[in-house]
């Protein structure tokens, strides 16, 4: 069980703060819920049942794990695992996994697609573009919280590494 003020990764929303654990102010709903405030999304409060595993929720990665991931991103050109081709049917599975390494692989793969299309003066497909935005939001948001840095700062740094 999570505690008040814990930072968690919630589904495909990303990093949230547990603001309260109580019965939500919605008629007909009973039981304890987490009141989750997304850190990088102003969509409002999310109510998630405490005793539910329908949506994956986990604690945010440690600073040490985040630093290891950044180091791996710096060397992504020589990392065979990050340069394997990503196929469109894998996108959703990779995003829903909440696995930081899979998200980084997805971002790297989508940047490779974007760079290849740019050589032919073509834009990225809209579905690929949307998936890139989603994966970046999830991974970079968690890294920013773990490293105690601004999202924009982490975003620029990671795009520089993964987009090459």
Same domain, 112 and 33: no
pLDDT tens readout for residues 105-144 = 999 999 999 998 888 889 999 999 999 999 999 999 999 9
The residues pairing with 49 across neighbouring beta strands, listed in sequence order, are 33
| Confidence bin at 102 (pLDDT 50/70/90) | very high
Record the pTM. 0.91
Q: Are 158 and 138 in contact (CB under 8 A)?
A: no
Give the mean pLDDT of 132-158: 97
Mean pLDDT on 12-40: 92
Give the burial string for 48-63 (b: 16+ CB within 10 Å, else e): beeeeeeeebeebbee
**Are 53 and 79 found together in one domain?**
no
Separation of alpha carbons 42 and 137, rounded Å: 13
Domain count, the chain: 2
Whether residues 35 and 88 share a domain: the answer is no
Report pLDDT for 30: 87
**34 and 81 belong to one structural domain:** no
Residue 91 in any domain: the answer is yes
Q: Which domain holds residue 25?
A: 7-58
Residue at 1 is within a domain: no
How far, in Å, are 57, 67, 129 from residue 141 at the CA level? 15, 14, 18
Backbone angles phi, psi at 28, to 5 degrees: 90, 0
CATH code where residue 130 lies? 1.20.58.1290
**Residues 60 and 144 sit within 8 Å (Cβ to Cβ):** no
Q: 71 and 87: one domain?
A: yes
Whether residue 85 sits in one domain with residue 72 = yes
- Condensed to tens digits (0 to 9), the pLDDT of residues 61-101 reads 999 999 999 999 999 888 888 888 888 999 999 999 999 99
Residue 2 lies in a domain: no
């Amino acid at each position: 069980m999570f505690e008040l003020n814990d930072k968690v990764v919630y589904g495909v929303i990303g990093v949230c703060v547990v603001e309260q654990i109580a019965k939500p102010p919605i008629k007909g709903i009973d039981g304890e819920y987490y009141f989750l405030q997304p850190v990088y999304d102003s969509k409002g409060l999310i109510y998630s049942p405490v005793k539910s595993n329908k949506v994956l929720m986990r604690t945010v990665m440690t600073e040490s794990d985040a630093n290891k991931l950044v180091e791996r991103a710096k060397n992504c050109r020589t990392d065979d695992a990050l340069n394997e081709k990503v196929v469109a049917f894998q996108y959703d599975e990779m995003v829903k996994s909440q696995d930081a390494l899979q998200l980084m692989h997805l971002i790297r793969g989508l940047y490779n697609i974007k760079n290849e299309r740019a050589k032919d003066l073509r834009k990225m497909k809209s579905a690929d573009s949307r998936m890139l935005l989603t994966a970046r939001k999830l991974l970079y948001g968690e890294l920013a919280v773990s490293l105690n840095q601004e999202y924009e700062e982490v975003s620029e740094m990671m795009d520089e590494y993964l987009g090459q």
